[in-house]
Chain A
Amino acid sequence: MTYEGVPGLVETVEAHGETTLVVDPARLIEACTHLRDAEGFNFLSDISATDYLGWGSVGVSGYIGTARGRDLNLPATQGLQVLPQAKSKRFAVNYHLLSVSDRPRRVRLQAWVDDGEAVSSVVGVWPTADWHEREAWDLMGIPFDGHPNLKRILLDDDWEGHPLRKDYPIGGEPVRFSEEE
């Protein structure tokens, strides 16, 4: 499905039956307002932030399990390394939109930002974004401009760091397997 007239649209990606609209973060609120009012996406299902630090550094060799089996003509089979597609910036903020109407559709809006770069808050467009953006700030460290209440939500208020980032360690303790350790 192509969407005409989305402000700031950089790219449209179709995969696995889904449409992803990559948008310029500077024009995010315009894009969201357009999608809500002109296209009927009145329901914000989810805001997911993804950290792509280290993406592509671990190669994927050709043992890909698909129903089609291994396609020997595809590059990167027979154990050759293939690197996943490189990403332009470190963080992707994904907005999953749904149209609760007689024409139900889903679309994903994607905005790419670097570390420290702020994203405009869409609380004014969909009030439900409030807690989703707080969670993205808390766990990923993406600041949202214009959010009325940007505090930590899932972690302690005085927690340092943003755990879901790739450079944050998993934490926990080494497991003690015997008495001697």
Chain B
Amino acid sequence: MATAPAKTRAPIYEGTRIPHPIPTVLRVSDELRATGDVMTVNFGPNHPSTHGVLRLVVDLFGEDVVGLEAVVGYLHTGFEKNMEQKTWWKAITYPERIDYLSYQNNELVFVLAIEQLLELETPPKASWMRTCLCELNRIHSHLVWLGTAALELGAISMFWYCFREREQILDLFEMVTGARMHTRYFQAGGLAEDIPRGFYPEARKFVEWMPHAVDDYEALVDRNKIWLERTQGLGLLSADDAIALGQSGPVLRASGVDWDLRRVQPYLSYADCEFRVPVHHEGDVYARYRVHMEEMRESTKIIAQCLDRLEGMEGEPWIADDRKVVLPPREELHTSMESLIHHFKIVTEGYRVPEGEIYVTVESPRGEMGCYVVSDGGPKPWRVKFRAPSFVALEATATCMTDALIADMIAVVGSLDTVMGEVDR
């Protein structure tokens, strides 16, 4: 890991900028408060630029932001409590809606937790396909991020270009899983259905087109003077502060820390894929933007490698063979008594996951997405907790917004790539 080379570079800033005593709140100093010129503005839950229902209570001294507090919870859905009421199989529908841009990564983390508690092996075809879909989801998430972040900074036309590619990705998802968003395609043991014919040529077309699309986006903003002025040197976060604040994903990589869970603790088939992890060292909004763009290119490469492998796996099983957990194929239900009983038990009572607890993490497009599952051996989860990267990213808002103007706040909060669904769960 490249913290050694990073130390030879000049640090992004000296010391720490984490506010004291509350690390997540910028507090107005008493002298400023005494001038009487500090205005408190509420960027309420309904705001076009806050990426969902985020409320920021901002104290302004002219145009300088001198006080900042984020109020969250406007989208608290009670996922964790709801999932305790459903069987394991039905509960898989819930995690998707937590981070609604990278829904398959969320499904994946929960399904991996179940599989690890069950000690269930998934067949390689399922593993490669999951990798492919998760990378497509990563590109999807970055596209929506780029479209909306650029829209907020004024580069309005970027939105339409990004959504054009997003539609192609959603077409691929619809072809494979039947739904555009919230696909519910991952099961404990593998995939719900086999990969349809026609997916590979369509996916290849996408993989060939995508680098040109990223070239288009970069042509629009990469050296655009307005974009550079609005993103360079803003929202600085040093590597030590980022680690202390629990940042991960593109935010951490833009601060110079070479840390990617796909490389460090490979899950699915990432160990067999060749890809580069983009790292930048400036720690500003522009660095995060560059990390996102390069990640899109790398994801395209990973998808191409997955397709290469998957095309040779025609006819292989897509789900594990354990009939205590996985539904038997429907044809068997007509002839086999055991299959009928298994089907009945799995659908009505649900499979039981042995007693234990586990914490699984994956690299979602926003960073380290974790799922802590406690099972009491029954058909329903006892406790499910999701570690959402955006929840933690918002904790860094106060640090990134030290010495910033109000107009920079939009750029900084946008660059942290938050999805309020996962902040509030």
Taking beta carbons and an 8 Å cutoff, which residues of A are in contact with B?
A: 15-18, 20, 42-46, 48, 50-51, 55-56, 58, 60, 63-69, 82, 84-85, 94, 96, 98, 100-102, 104, 106, 108, 123, 126-128, 130-131, 135, 139, 148-149, 152-156, 163-164, 168, 170-171
B232 at the interface (CB under 8 A from A): no
A42–B370 CB distance below 8 A = no
B76 A154 Cβ-Cβ under 8 A: yes
Once the chains are docked, how many angstroms separate the CA of A47 from the CA of B117? 20
**B325 in the interface (beta carbon within 8 A):** yes
18 chain-A/chain-B pairs, Cβ below 8 angstroms:
A43-B246, A45-B361, A46-B372, A48-B387, A50-B357, A50-B383, A55-B376, A66-B119, A67-B118, A67-B119, A96-B372, A102-B3, A127-B244, A127-B245, A130-B395, A131-B394, A148-B22, A149-B22
Asked, given contacts A45-B370, A154-B424, A164-B81, whether A66 binds B118 with beta carbons under 8 Å apart, the answer is: yes
Where chain B touches its partner, the secondary structure class is loop
- Give the number of chain B interface residues (Cβ < 8 Å): 63
| B73–A46 CB distance below 8 A | no
A100 to B24, CA, bound (A): 22
Assembled-state Cα–Cα distance A156/B356 (Å):
33
Q: Are B72 and A51 in contact, with the CB atoms below 8 A?
A: no
Report B60-105 residues with CB < 8 Å from chain A CB: 72-73, 76, 78, 80-82, 85
CB distance from B269 to the nearest CB of A (A): 19
Selected from B259, B358, B370, the residue in CB contact (under 8 A) with A16 is B358
Give bound CA distance, A23 to B394, whole Å.
Answer: 30
In the bound complex, what is the Cα–Cα distance between A148 and B1 (angstroms)?
Answer: 34
Partner of A82 from the list B1, B257, B377 (CB cut-off 8 Å) is B377
- In the assembled complex, the CB of B21 is this many whole angstroms from the nearest CB of chain A, namely 4
Contact B244 A148 (CB under 8 A): no
Cβ–Cβ < 8 Å partners of A69 in chain B = 324
B262 at the interface (CB under 8 A from A): no
Task: Please state if B387 and A96 are interface contacts (CB–CB under 8 Å).
Answer: yes
User: How near does chain B come to A61, taking the closest CB pair, in angstroms?
Assistant: 9
> Least Cβ distance of B348 to chain A in Å?
12
- Counting CB contacts under 8 A, is B161 at the interface? no
Does A130 lie within 8 Å of B23, measured CB to CB? Answer: yes
Q: Which 9 A-B pairs have the closest CB atoms?
A: A128-B246, A65-B324, A127-B23, A60-B377, A46-B387, A154-B73, A48-B385, A65-B351, A154-B76
**What is the CA–CA distance of A100 and B367 in the complex, to the nearest angstrom?**
13
Contact B320 A67, beta carbon cutoff 8 Å:
yes
**Chain A residues, Cβ within 8 Å of B24:** 127, 130-131, 149
Is A163 touching B78 in the complex (CB atoms < 8 A)?
Answer: yes
| A131-B395 Cα distance, complex, nearest whole Å | 7
* CB 8 Å contact bits of B311-322 with A (1 = contact, 0 = none): 000000000101
